[in-house]
């Protein structure tokens, strides 16, 4: 006895071994496997000496079934397949014909709905027509997909796919025909769809892929600004700024040559304190917070971007050029010496130094904050002065003509040394090692580099941090941010603080409660000195302006009140976005380092120093490579390697180890810095948080 039944959507035949209708049937499948089958699951019982041949003939007959005619033969109600077999094949229908019809009904869900074991109902006519159209569309889509796959594999991009390139690369809809065609054509390629598009010539380079991926995620509407400033708006700025008092100083800034967002400047004025010759130092910070209002159009732009993005060869500014042009602390044209110093709006911190160069923190001469216009006399550039300005040169009066603002820089340098010494005392009290001031060990790995990209060609220049000018800016920015953090906390005015306490991946973070920054050795640290390029600095500047203008009542009129939920959200959003921007900068620097090796010539031979766990860094550029052979060597061990090949999509290099050159360990301070990863994408101010964010990065 042969039994017809359904299993997993397929019609199958088994041979009855034993059993009755009241108990499970012992059966043997056509493949020889024995098992149990419930009597109620049997569709048909019949006799046939060769079930394999029977099933093969039924499948052959099934291919001839006309489903449209079969649908016409079926009534409107439910029916057994054996009944419809009589209508289609004639009465009586043979077991072969009945089996064939069971296969046809089971395999045609578009035409027939299954209602039970062997029972079916034909689909309504309107639903059948719609389903048949869908089937035809599916066939056409499949044919199109296969044709596209062939074109893509041959290196040609179908025109229908061209408008979808970015979506297919960065945010594909995996249900579309285009994605299925592209994904199938890209199978076997290490770089996936990106490599396929490179071969088709629609993706110009791996750089375009990496940049496009970042822009798609963080700037989906493009890097242009959606806000348009009105002429009357800029006029109202000018009128409001004209009402600010003018500072009785001549200020100068210190920046890299490529810096366009000049946030900070200095002034030094000789004064008398108790008949003793002292100095008053002014730290002047650009004040876009005077024009940008919370909730306004420009605030929306800053809130969305949160920071300027820096990467080799370019940047994406947080604020429009029109705003930067008005509020950046640009001096007069250096080629016009007789031109008056332009007045720039600023939030200024004035600090009186005693005869030892230490700030006076209490009493009549305690640090004060003012909102004013500052005459900008000069923009000093590190490229021209950094090598000239040394401690010895500042003390030599004969250098006055060669070093502008020599006396002022001497005052700032002497005070910077005092500020640094006090910070180290606090670091030691927190259980950290004291840091030295000045240039690092010349034999140590350089930790900061400038990238210059011109027409796809990159030059990479090592730059050792710790010069006099670096240290002046670093120490005074730390002092300024710390002092303003303390003032906000003392006035109970909410702000966003950069804190660092304890250890672990989340030890450095943004928060709305005052807190210490142990790495820098300060009590409270609020980013306030880069409002043109960091949104938290702009937020803090709003609060500082309220504090400077309203004193003890500032917390009542400041844009952000205590426990403002939006302030907490800004702190959280900034941390994530800032880290993402830093990751992109790191990735772009890695790309250009690999490009530098390619320019030099592949295979490339050079020297690396072991960091840890088989990770090494090329001595001349900031590129880390995996060299497993160095895993057992001490930190700082020097080895020769050869770069054989480069994958610009994966940003990886194939490295061959050639041998050990010198096993000497790097210094503990150097190894600690190399272990840290977080990026501080700033201009010259990026050096101020080496202890905090550890890895200074390229210039703007």
The residue count of the chain comes to: 700
In 3D space, the residue among 307, 294, 253 whose CA is nearest the CA of residue 527 turns out to be: 307
Q: pLDDT tens digit string along 354-405?
A: 989 999 999 889 999 999 999 999 999 888 888 888 888 888 877 777 889 9
pTM for the whole structure: 0.79
Q: How many CB atoms lie within 10 A of CB 147?
A: 12
In the predicted structure, residue 486 carries a pLDDT above the cut 70: yes
d(CA 641, CA 615): 13
d(CA 193, CA 165): 10
pLDDT the model gives residue 285: 97
d(CA 287, CA 537): 10
Across 266-282, average pLDDT: 92
How sure is the predictor about 437, in pLDDT bands with cuts at 50, 70 and 90?
confident
Straight-line distance from the first to the last Cα atom of the chain, in angstroms, rounded to the nearest whole number: 85
At 254, is the secondary structure helix, strand, or coil?
Answer: strand
In 3D space, the residue among 682, 699, 584, 569 whose CA is nearest the CA of residue 218 turns out to be: 584
Structure-model confidence comparison of residues 23 and 455, the more confident one: 455
How sure is the predictor about 338, in pLDDT bands with cuts at 50, 70 and 90?
low
H-state helical runs in 434-564: 468-490, 535-550, 554-557
Bridge partner residues of 608 (DSSP): 618, 639
Q: pLDDT tens digit string along 242-251?
A: 999 999 999 9
Q: Can you give the C-alpha Rg of the chain in angstroms?
A: 37
Which letter does DSSP use for residue 538 in this model? H
d(CA 685, CA 172): 40
Q: pLDDT tens digit string along 33-49?
A: 999 988 888 999 999 99
d(CA 98, CA 51): 14
Q: Is 621 in contact with 449 (CB distance < 8 Å)?
A: yes
Convert 421-433 to b/e letters by CB count within 10 Å (16 or more is b).
Answer: eebbebbeeeeee
How sure is the predictor about 621, in pLDDT bands with cuts at 50, 70 and 90?
very high
pLDDT the model gives residue 333: 67
Q: pLDDT tens digit string along 311-335?
A: 998 899 999 998 999 999 999 765 5
In the predicted structure, residue 685 carries a pLDDT above the cut 60: no
Instruction: Calculate the average pLDDT of the chain.
Output: 87
Q: pLDDT tens digit string along 51-73?
A: 999 999 999 999 999 999 998 88
Structure-model confidence comparison of residues 307 and 441, the more confident one: 307
d(CA 99, CA 632): 71
Across 456-466, average pLDDT: 85
In the predicted structure, residue 691 carries a pLDDT above the cut 60: no
d(CA 513, CA 559): 17
Q: Is 400 in contact with 518 (CB distance < 8 Å)?
A: no
Convert 493-524 to b/e letters by CB count within 10 Å (16 or more is b).
Answer: bbbbbbbbeeeeeeebbbebebbbbbbbbbeb
Across 436-443, average pLDDT: 77
**Strands 119-122 vs 604-612: parallel, antiparallel or unpaired:** unpaired
Which letter does DSSP use for residue 472 in this model? H
Across 496-504, average pLDDT: 84
pLDDT the model gives residue 647: 93
Across 445-462, average pLDDT: 88
In the predicted structure, residue 666 carries a pLDDT above the cut 60: no
d(CA 137, CA 132): 9
How large a percentage of the chain has pLDDT more than 70? 93
H-state helical runs in 63-185: 67-73, 81-89, 95-106, 125-153, 165-170, 177-185
């Amino acid at each position: 006895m042969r039994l017809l039944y359904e299993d997993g959507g397929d019609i199958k035949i088994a041979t009855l071994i034993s059993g009755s209708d009241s108990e499970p049937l012992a059966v043997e499948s056509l493949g020889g496997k024995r098992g149990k089958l419930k009597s109620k699951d049997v569709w048909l019982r019949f006799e046939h000496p060769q079930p394999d041949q029977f099933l093969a003939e039924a499948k052959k007959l099934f291919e001839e079934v006309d489903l449209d005619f079969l649908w016409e033969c079926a009534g409107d109600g439910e029916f057994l397949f054996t009944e419809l077999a009589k209508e289609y094949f004639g009465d009586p229908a043979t077991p072969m014909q009945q089996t064939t019809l069971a296969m046809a009904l089971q395999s045609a869900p578009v035409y027939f709905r299954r209602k039970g074991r062997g029972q079916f109902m034909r689909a309504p006519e309107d639903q059948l027509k719609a389903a048949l159209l869908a089937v035809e569309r599916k066939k056409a889509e499949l044919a199109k997909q296969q044709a596209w796959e062939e074109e893509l594999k041959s290196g040609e991009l179908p025109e229908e796919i061209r408008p979808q390139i970015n979506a297919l690369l960065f945010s594909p809809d995996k249900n579309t025909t285009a994605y299925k065609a592209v994904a199938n054509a890209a199978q076997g390629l290490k770089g996936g769809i990106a490599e396929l598009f490179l071969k088709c010539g629609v993706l110009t380079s791996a750089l375009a892929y990496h940049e496009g991926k970042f822009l798609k995620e963080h700037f989906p509407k493009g890097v242009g600004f959606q806000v348009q400033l009105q002429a009357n708006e800029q006029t109202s700025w000018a009128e409001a700024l004209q009402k600010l008092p003018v500072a009785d100083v001549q200020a100068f800034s210190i920046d890299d040559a490529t810096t366009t967002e000049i946030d900070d400047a200095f002034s030094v004025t000789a004064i008398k304190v108790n008949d003793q010759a002292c100095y008053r130092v002014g730290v002047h910070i650009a004040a876009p917070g005077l024009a940008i209002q919370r909730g306004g159009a420009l605030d929306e732009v800053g809130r969305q971007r949160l920071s300027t993005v820096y990467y080799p060869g370019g940047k994406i500014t947080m604020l429009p050029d029109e705003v930067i042009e008005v509020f950046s602390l640009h001096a007069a044209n250096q080629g016009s010496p007789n031109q008056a110093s332009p007045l720039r709006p600023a939030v200024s911190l004035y600090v009186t130094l005693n005869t030892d160069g230490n700030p006076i923190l209490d009493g009549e001469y305690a640090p004060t904050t003012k909102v004013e216009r500052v005459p900008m006399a000069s923009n000093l550039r590190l490229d021209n002065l950094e090598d000239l300005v040394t401690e010895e040169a500042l003390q030599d009066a004969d250098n006055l003509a060669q070093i502008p603002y020599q006396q002022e820089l001497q005052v700032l340098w002497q005070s910077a040394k005092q500020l640094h010494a006090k910070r180290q005392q606090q670091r030691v009290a927190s259980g950290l090692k004291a840091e030295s001031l000045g240039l690092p060990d010349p034999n140590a790995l350089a930790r900061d580099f400038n990238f210059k990209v011109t027409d796809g060609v990159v030059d990479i220049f090592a730059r050792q941090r710790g010069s006099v000018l670096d240290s002046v800016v670093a120490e005074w920015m730390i002092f300024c941010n710390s002092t303003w953090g303390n003032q906000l906390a003392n006035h109970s005015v909410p702000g966003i603080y950069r804190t660092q306490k304890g250890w672990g991946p989340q030890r450095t973070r943004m928060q709305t409660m005052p807190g210490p920054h142990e790495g820098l050795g300060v009590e409270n640290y609020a980013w306030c000195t880069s409002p043109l390029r960091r949104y938290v600095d702009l937020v803090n500047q709003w609060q500082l302006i309220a504090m400077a203008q309203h004193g003890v009542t500032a917390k009542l009129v400041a844009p952000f009140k205590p426990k403002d939920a939006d302030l907490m959200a800004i702190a959280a959003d900034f941390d994530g976005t800032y880290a993402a921007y830093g990751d992109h900068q790191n990735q772009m620097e890695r790309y250009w380092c690999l490009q530098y090796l390619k320019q030099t010539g592949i295979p490339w031979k050079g020297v690396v120093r072991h960091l840890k766990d088989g990770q090494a860094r090329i001595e001349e550029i900031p590129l880390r490579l995996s060299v497993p052979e160095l895993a057992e060597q001490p930190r700082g061990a020097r080895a020769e390697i050869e770069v054989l090949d480069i994958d610009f999509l994966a940003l990886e290099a194939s490295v061959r180890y050639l041998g050990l050159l010198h096993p000497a360990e790097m210094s503990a301070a150097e190894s600690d810095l190399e272990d840290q990863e977080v990026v501080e994408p700033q201009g010259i101010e990026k050096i101020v948080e080496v202890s905090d964010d550890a890895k200074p990065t390229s210039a703007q």
